[in-house]
Amino acid sequence: MDTIGPIARTVEDAALLLQVVAGYDPLDAITLDEPAPDYSQALGLPVAKLRVGVPRQYFFEQLHPDVASAVEEAIRHLRGIVGEVREVTLPRLRAAENGDYDVELYHYQKPLFDKSPELYHPWSQRHLNAMKKVETVAYIETLKRIRELRRDIHKVFEQVDLVVLPTMREPAPLLAETINETHRRPPSNTSVFNHFGTPALTLPCGFSKGGLPLGLQIAGAAYQEPVVLSLAFAYQQSTDWHRRIPPILRGKA
């Protein structure tokens, strides 16, 4: 379910980097033998007629107040530059019992994990050990549900061209809280687009009261990266969040 993508300072740079990594690779069995479009040209596409969906159900639940405020302001801003903003409901994956697709993660890590499990973080150890219990038939059922999900998402993108939502439901937690597992992470807003097999991009839309960056996620239909980039560029050009630098707090030496 993982997909590589560029991390860049601007939408323009993301388009340039995507141009490099996108396209057919004869050594990669999952790539399609289709030419990639010129992503930089997408930056000049008009957005005034775009239909934008907002999936409030599930994806706007358990939001940190700072995230909610920043994303609502971003949506208000988008209403002024696109053709329509309306609410939509996105389908969600429910994996079969004992059919977690993260068994693929264990398959990849198996040589190292079986040899030296103690080198992994305790959470990773528990997760990978749990994947050993995945059952073949249940895993195949999960893959079937993913195929059905990718069919169903087409219906949503017949109604809208793009969807926008918070990238993360909270500002970044402290590193120590993550390592010590004292932080309870809210549900993911990003993994669903891996399930759909559709492109998604996150870009700055504000800061928390503590100075941490907050992201707005823009996602489109399969192979519609140019449309995603066009709205992301339009939002970037009409705001200045990508130019702002959060304060860096330095401890005493």
- Sign of the C-alpha dihedral computed for residues 82, 84, 89 and 93 taken in this order: negative
Q: Which residues pair with 206 in a beta bridge?
A: 214
Q: Is 123 among the domain residues? A: no
Q: Is 128 among the domain residues? A: no
d(CA 192, CA 244): 29
Residue 117 half-sphere exposure toward CB, CA atoms < 13 A: 11
Q: Is 215 among the domain residues? A: yes
| pTM as predicted | 0.92
In this structure, the number of other CB atoms found within 10 A of the CB of residue 70 comes to 24
Note down pLDDT in tens along the chain; length 253 residues. Answer: 877 889 999 999 999 999 999 999 999 888 888 889 999 999 989 999 999 999 999 999 999 999 999 999 999 999 999 999 999 999 999 999 999 999 999 999 999 999 999 999 999 999 999 999 999 999 999 999 999 999 999 999 999 999 999 999 999 999 899 888 899 889 999 999 999 999 999 999 999 999 999 999 999 999 999 999 999 999 999 999 999 987 765 444 4
Residue appearing with tokens 């069919």: 151
Q: Is 116 among the domain residues? A: no
Q: Is 136 among the domain residues? A: no
Q: Is 127 among the domain residues? A: no
d(CA 238, CA 8): 18
Domain coverage including residue 210: 15-93+150-243
Q: Is 143 among the domain residues? A: no
Q: Is 218 among the domain residues? A: yes
Domain count, the chain: 1
Q: What is the CATH number of the domain that holds 24?
A: 3.90.1300.10
Helices (H), the chain: 11-21, 56-59, 65-79, 103-115, 122-131, 136-159, 175-179, 191-196, 225-237
